[in-house]
Amino acid sequence: MPHAAATGIWPRFKARFIGDRAFYQMALGLVIPVIVQDTVTNVVNLLDNVMVGSLGTAQMSGVAIANYLMFVFHLSVYGILGGAGIYGAQFAGAKQWVRFQETLRYKLYVSVSIAILAGLILTKWQTALISLYLTGEGTAADRAAMLLYGQQYLKIMIWGLLPFALTQSYSSALRESGETALPMRASVIAVLVNLVFNYLLIFGKLGLPALGVKGAAIATVLSRVVELLVVVVTAHKHQDRFPFLKGLYRSARIAKDLAVNITIKGMPLFVNEFFWSAGTITITQILSTRGLTVVGGLNIASTFTNLFGVVFFSCGIAVAIVTGQTLGSGDVELAKAQVWKLMFLAVALASSVGIILAISAGWITQIYRTEVEVRQLAAMFMRVAAFYMPFMAISHCSYFTIRSGGRTFLTMLFDSVYVFVICIPYTYTLVTFTDLGIESLYPLSQLTQPLKAVLGLAFVSTGYWARSLVGEKSDA
């Protein structure tokens, strides 16, 4: 009888969580280019991090703080594009290319607006924003140096905001139409440009001046411009493959009902990504009050956590595209079934890379020429992140699942509201009202990850998220 019961459980488990060969070929066809693209990007970020870190802990920490601020901009762009992306994926599934083209126009308008606004904010208030992370234990000289290097880096990085916004508008549209290879190739070329010019400009090779953190920023901006040119020029040269690009700039038209619906669906996503990213760096700021070494340790740890995490975070992109296209074609039940299989794949990948990260954390940090305490903290942060990776995978896939059906207000509750209502008060309480060291505080602060994963599973299980938006009209 026990054997028969097990035999009955396995077929049900397999049917719910494991797909056939055709499913994985389709899913991996979407995931692998994104993994390659994000891995190359993160490897170059790692090398950039190591190169800047070789200049000193102050340089590394100053650049890290500036990148925390850039992170808010990046997530805001992703969020503002997300609303149009929901419709884009479904229009692609329904082969409605005229409507798809209008979603791309919408993306271009709003992403450029966000880039301009971000440039103004980061120019006017950069000193105050960077200084928020310089309140922990440490000398006044260290704080002054970190502020100086953060300002030097950020002033140049502002020039890369617009190319980044335009590239993301095009790349997201291409992915939603099923084309993941071109954005991947463009990203690979861009990061190689970044890597080469990092080496040349940070250290002053081939007769070029040694610019330190300024060189790192210039190399990044150059790579942004190159990536934009590769994506735009190549895509427009192959308009037969991308019909939505034909006549894209001959008109500024976006149908009123579509613009209204995208704004209604997209505004919660923008608000969510902005406040989620702001909340994330707020948690980092709260933890940084335990000492300036925490800033350096978190910077190193996040670089490697992101590098290992692309393997399962890419499954979120697959969830958004696969379920979005399936919902657009009208097959709601198939979309529900696909989500569980993709989520199981993400958890399996997260568990695997988490084990690898935990085992290798100690020697990974040895590549940095920084204080022993910073390296030890970084290794500890990485091991904690490795343990929580399966929970992160569930939350990540849950987010994109709920979003794929246009339930954007629910995604905001699940993501940014959760950060501000649960994560920030919890972390602040731990830091302010206990005498625990960072070695105990950080693992405890991450206990919010399993809770969020449970909530995500509950949301997805209801099936409330699954609906088609194709043909939807505004009430306006």
Evaluate whether residue 1 is within a structural domain: no
Measured between alpha carbons, how far is 229 from 227 in angstroms, rounded to an integer?
6
Question: What is the reported pTM?
Answer: 0.74
pLDDT at 4 over 50: no
219-237 average pLDDT score: 94
In tens, the pLDDT along 99-113 reads: 888 999 999 999 999
Evaluate whether residue 471 is within a structural domain: no
276-291 average pLDDT score: 89
Evaluate whether residue 13 is within a structural domain: no
pLDDT band at 5 (very low <50, low <70, confident <90, very high): very low
Evaluate whether residue 472 is within a structural domain: no
Q: What percent of the chain has pLDDT over 90?
A: 41
274-294 average pLDDT score: 88
pLDDT at 447 over 50: yes
pLDDT at 25 over 90: no
Evaluate whether residue 245 is within a structural domain: yes
For the chain, how many structural domains are there in total? 1
pLDDT at 467 over 90: no
230-244 average pLDDT score: 92
59-74 average pLDDT score: 86
pLDDT band at 471 (very low <50, low <70, confident <90, very high): low
213-224 average pLDDT score: 94
**CA dist list (Å): 137 to 55, 295, 317, 432, 457:** 22, 11, 40, 15, 40
pLDDT at 474 over 80: no
Closest CA to 311 of 348, 264, 261, 269: 348
Evaluate whether residue 198 is within a structural domain: yes
Measured between alpha carbons, how far is 321 from 332 in angstroms, rounded to an integer?
14
Q: Which residue has the higher pLDDT, 342 or 93?
A: 342
pLDDT at 137 over 80: no
Exposed, middle or buried: residue 23 (CB in 10 Å: 0-12, 13-18, 19+)? Answer: middle
Evaluate whether residue 9 is within a structural domain: no
Evaluate whether residue 475 is within a structural domain: no
Closest CA to 38 of 389, 315, 234, 270: 315
What domain range includes position 366?
19-462
Measured between alpha carbons, how far is 136 from 76 in angstroms, rounded to an integer?
28
pLDDT value of residue 7 = 61
pLDDT value of residue 420 = 94
Closest CA to 70 of 175, 200, 224: 224
In tens, the pLDDT along 72-85 reads: 888 888 888 887 88
Q: Which residue has the higher pLDDT, 116 or 78?
A: 116
Say which range, 6-15, 52-61, 63-72, 80-89, has the weakest mean pLDDT: 6-15
